Chain A
């Protein structure tokens, strides 16, 4: 971030943009030249660096640009005070001496005072003059300098320039391709308030508590701090309202990755580490058991009214979706707000609440239909969760079964897959099976994954008998091939259905033989 007197903007008809430094040859040369100058003057006074900058300015480069770059380089260096003794002590000594000896109104008197004091501090008169104000900014020595590349410098400058303009912002709307967890974490941490709306994707509008009463630049600094996190995404776009103090008008500051993305260095953000080890272990345990549910960690934020919910996990099974959150430290207020948000959603959320970390008792909340609580202590109770999921799933399944039973279905194809059928009708496979396998339509036999017409089964029977007649014996593998060629996937199930016996020789299926039972 830069001081506002170094901000250079382009403003027209209510639009405002920082004057970005394109990564052009000219700019790269200026940046490169400055970096080189800093490198060359390691060990020298800051005022020499300032002279280099002044020189560039006098050669006609935009002074705010040059000074901005220099300031960024200052921050990449370490400046130290070059004095063997603390200049403050030295000054105290000399000022006291002046008071005692008398104000030096001539050069001669001045020399005498210094000659009296310098040896006391074990200094020569030259040292004395040098150290007296060695702690002033101009006199500091550039001790170390870590040079960036010219393009890095320009990219950082552009980011800083944007942040500086955002100091004067009253609000910011943005959309981004990801990183939501980090973004919302910072929005909260910086004391900002957000609202979510849809406009070609999800947009987030940000301002602060007092923005409700009047336009204020008060939250500009916090908004500026959010910028690096927004532009760290591969895709982003934002629109900030800038209250331009010089003209007292509100301007739009609008940039997006497609147009300006190349001007910024993508800051590398630390990977988001999740606060609880509980989440980690829950995910691992849950995936180890084959529950039929697909567990997704940190799914996208889910808009709920003008707020969002970012659940820890989403669980999905055959079109049924349940959000799950592991709640560490909590208050009733916190859970209350969560419930308020969930009102807008049809989704259900399961909250795993650590009893040990409670700071309030839940009273009014238990009745809320959107929220379900499972309390735990120490270990996450996998069994209770599965029971809850089963129940939740059953509710949905029952509704579908009812739907299917009322649906008059007529099949014409010889083979019907439950999966395909369920997808076609828009219900879960489980519900389809529950109806069709238990009570198959007339003329059909139910197998584990399909319905097969009786005609089809007779056809298959004929083919198997042919094979047996031809060679007297039929390996299982070959029989399966024959059956699958007929479009029936549950082959061994079909064999047993037709009364064939499978003689196993060991566990190797290649040695297993199919034979017709003696009738």
Chain B
């Protein structure tokens, strides 16, 4: 009788019978299957009327779920489509459209061992809370030093990937929050090393600039539902106004800026380098590894940008705006960490960066949410599925170029209040729009996604 068991993220099959899904492994002297073929293999045996011995799953005990999730119309439609696609597929919904609830409802319907995979530790906390509130069970957590497997477990992509060899046979349902992350070459293997036949992907931004989202149907299923922000706006989400303000550098700042940028430009001119695209810029960055002069040029450019970014006049304008909106809930955003701390020190307001201790971060976001803090400054885009506190004003401190993606992403976090429309203000330095900056930002975005 063929015997199947789980071996570090794969399935071993002993016995004289092969399957269409297995591959002979000469190292172990038996057939080996990708874990994701688990259900297919079993179906194959059943249809071929071959008896088999299955030692693959090692599932945590089921717990009693008491669900109180009620879905809105479009959420129901989304879940419906997903079920009809065989409990597989990706749902594309804008931020704040309640993706979480659809997944929780699916767990309630399937009542099976579920792993929810999320990009950040913050999101683990958030899901854990939601699972407790909506399903009435405690969720296990994997990641951030914790390792507890329960019927419903939340994990980071990192842990789900690195511990696939131990976790792959413990769940029957996988929920991929922000599923576009899954398409990266490493994380893709999560799809292959888990036996779970039921899969749900959630995202607001299905498409990736590298086109890798085209691989997702293989491991999660096709996109089965999509609704865009316009269809929801006004009804469930709020519109906002956008304003862009440019300020001049102080004379001293301008001088330093020109000097440093001059070094950079000179170098480019001497070497006849033209930076037009992100790829050009990447190429230039690679030369800095070999050519000390290129590196010097890069350092000079970075110093110039730092001057522009940290410009005193920008902070003065920020002060004015903070004063103007003193009754609103304000989210101040900039990409630059140093600037975040400079602002935090100057205005004595809470800062959230990648360096913020986890506990403190949790506390700050909670206090911002419940209104104890009215202003926070951050260098992290908090939109990725985070329940970001409903700010009514967003202030973006740019470098020199305009950060369009961030404008859009932050815009979605804003809420109108008492009939007052939300505002988004971007503050940048004037006349310093420089070659390379927008491409650099594009690079950054790609790294971040």
> What is A's interface to B at a CB cutoff of 8 Å?
8, 57-58, 60, 63-64, 88, 91-92, 94-99, 102-106, 110, 113-114, 129, 132-133, 135-137, 191, 193-195, 208-210, 212-213, 216-218, 306, 340
Q: Mark B369-392, 1 if CB is under 8 A from A, else 0.
A: 000111100000000000000000
Pairwise interchain contact B320-A105, C-beta atoms closer than 8 A: yes
Answer whether residue B29 sits at the interface, using C-beta atoms and an 8 A cutoff: yes
Q: How far is the CB of A436 from chain B (nearest CB, A)?
A: 47
Known: A104-B346, A110-B348. 12 other contacts (CB 8 A): A88-B357, A91-B350, A91-B360, A95-B364, A99-B372, A106-B319, A110-B346, A195-B26, A212-B25, A216-B189, A217-B186, A306-B26
Contact flag A212-B289 (CB < 8 Å), given A99-B373, A103-B347: no
Nearest neighbor of B7 in chain A, beta-carbon distance: A209
Pairwise interchain contact A103-B375, C-beta atoms closer than 8 A: yes
The 3 A-B pairs at the shortest CB distance, nearest first, are namely A209-B10, A105-B319, A98-B348
Nearest neighbor of A106 in chain B, beta-carbon distance: B319
Q: How far is the CB of A65 from chain B (nearest CB, A)?
A: 11
Query: Which of A57, A96, A105, A129 has the most chain B CB atoms closer than 10 A to its own CB?
Result: A105
Contact flag A212-B10 (CB < 8 Å), given A64-B289, A103-B323, A340-B29: yes
Q: Please, which residues of chain A bring their CB within 8 A of the CB of B346?
A: 104, 110
Answer whether residue B341 sits at the interface, using C-beta atoms and an 8 A cutoff: yes
Q: Please, which residues of chain A bring their CB within 8 A of the CB of B28?
A: 193
Complex Cα distance A21/B445, Å? 34
Pairwise interchain contact B27-A98, C-beta atoms closer than 8 A: no
Q: Please, which residues of chain B bring their CB within 8 A of the CB of A195?
A: 26-27
Q: What's the count of A-B pairs with C-beta under 8 Å?
A: 95
Pairwise interchain contact B348-A113, C-beta atoms closer than 8 A: yes
Pairwise interchain contact A105-B9, C-beta atoms closer than 8 A: no
Q: How far is the CB of B54 from chain A (nearest CB, A)?
A: 16
Contact flag A210-B192 (CB < 8 Å), given A195-B27, A218-B186: yes
Pairwise interchain contact B345-A132, C-beta atoms closer than 8 A: yes
Q: How far is the CB of A64 from chain B (nearest CB, A)?
A: 7
Pairwise interchain contact B341-A99, C-beta atoms closer than 8 A: no
Pairwise interchain contact B289-A95, C-beta atoms closer than 8 A: no
Pairwise interchain contact A213-B349, C-beta atoms closer than 8 A: no
Answer whether residue B32 sits at the interface, using C-beta atoms and an 8 A cutoff: yes
Query: Which of B7, B322, B347 has the most chain A CB atoms closer than 10 A to its own CB?
Result: B347
Pairwise interchain contact B341-A209, C-beta atoms closer than 8 A: no
Pairwise interchain contact B348-A191, C-beta atoms closer than 8 A: no
Pairwise interchain contact B348-A209, C-beta atoms closer than 8 A: no
Query: Which of A110, A210, A217, A306 has the most chain B CB atoms closer than 10 A to its own CB?
Result: A210
Pairwise interchain contact B348-A60, C-beta atoms closer than 8 A: no
Q: Mark B294-331, 1 if CB is under 8 A from A, else 0.
A: 01100100000000000000000001101100100000
Contact flag A135-B9 (CB < 8 Å), given A94-B348, A213-B23, A218-B189: no
Contact flag A137-B355 (CB < 8 Å), given A99-B372, A110-B348: yes
Complex Cα distance A306/B29, Å? 10
Answer whether residue B363 sits at the interface, using C-beta atoms and an 8 A cutoff: yes
Q: Please, which residues of chain A bring their CB within 8 A of the CB of B372?
A: 96, 99
Answer whether residue B193 sits at the interface, using C-beta atoms and an 8 A cutoff: yes
Cβ-defined partner of A210 (8 Å) among B10, B299, B322: B10
Show 9 A/B contacts (Cβ-Cβ < 8 Å), sorted by A. A102-B326, A103-B323, A104-B347, A208-B8, A209-B165, A210-B9, A212-B10, A213-B23, A218-B189
Answer whether residue B292 sits at the interface, using C-beta atoms and an 8 A cutoff: yes
Complex Cα distance A54/B10, Å? 47
Q: How far is the CB of A375 from chain B (nearest CB, A)?
A: 26
Contact flag A210-B193 (CB < 8 Å), given A103-B323, A103-B375: yes
Complex Cα distance A497/B372, Å? 113
Pairwise interchain contact B360-A98, C-beta atoms closer than 8 A: no
Q: Mark B273-302, 1 if CB is under 8 A from A, else 0.
A: 000000000000000010010011001000
Complex Cα distance A212/B349, Å? 54
Answer whether residue B34 sits at the interface, using C-beta atoms and an 8 A cutoff: yes
Contact flag A212-B348 (CB < 8 Å), given A137-B355, A218-B189: no
Pairwise interchain contact A98-B341, C-beta atoms closer than 8 A: no
Q: How far is the CB of B2 from chain A (nearest CB, A)?
A: 15
Q: Please, which residues of chain A bring their CB within 8 A of the CB of B292?
A: 60
Pairwise interchain contact B289-A104, C-beta atoms closer than 8 A: no
Q: Please, which residues of chain A bring their CB within 8 A of the CB of B8?
A: 191, 208-210
Contact flag A136-B355 (CB < 8 Å), given A91-B360, A105-B322: yes
Q: Please, which residues of chain B bring their CB within 8 A of the CB of A92?
A: 363
Complex Cα distance A58/B298, Å? 12
Complex Cα distance A131/B299, Å? 30
Nearest neighbor of B189 in chain A, beta-carbon distance: A218
Q: Please, which residues of chain B bring their CB within 8 A of the CB of A63?
A: 295
Pairwise interchain contact B347-A98, C-beta atoms closer than 8 A: yes
Cβ-defined partner of A135 (8 Å) among B32, B192, B357, B373: B357
Q: How far is the CB of A66 from chain B (nearest CB, A)?
A: 12
Q: Please, which residues of chain A bring their CB within 8 A of the CB of B360?
A: 88, 91
Pairwise interchain contact B23-A98, C-beta atoms closer than 8 A: no
Complex Cα distance A118/B123, Å? 35
Q: How far is the CB of A133 from chain B (nearest CB, A)?
A: 6
Nearest neighbor of A101 in chain B, beta-carbon distance: B348
Complex Cα distance A213/B265, Å? 49
Q: Which residues 372-418 in B have Cβ within 8 Å of A in the complex?
A: 372-375
Nearest neighbor of B325 in chain A, beta-carbon distance: A103
Q: Please, which residues of chain B bring their CB within 8 A of the CB of A191?
A: 8, 165
Nearest neighbor of B353 in chain A, beta-carbon distance: A136
Q: How far is the CB of A184 from chain B (nearest CB, A)?
A: 14
Q: How far is the CB of A214 from chain B (nearest CB, A)?
A: 9
Q: How far is the CB of B161 from chain A (nearest CB, A)?
A: 8
Complex Cα distance A93/B374, Å? 15
Complex Cα distance A1/B347, Å? 40
Q: How far is the CB of B146 from chain A (nearest CB, A)?
A: 21
Q: Please, which residues of chain A bring their CB within 8 A of the CB of B375?
A: 103
Q: Please, which residues of chain A bring their CB within 8 A of the CB of B373?
A: 95, 99
Q: Mark B233-263, 1 if CB is under 8 A from A, else 0.
A: 0000000000000000000000000000000
Pairwise interchain contact B341-A136, C-beta atoms closer than 8 A: yes
Complex Cα distance A340/B28, Å? 10
Q: Mark B1-27, 1 if CB is under 8 A from A, else 0.
A: 000000111100000000000010111
Nearest neighbor of A305 in chain B, beta-carbon distance: B29
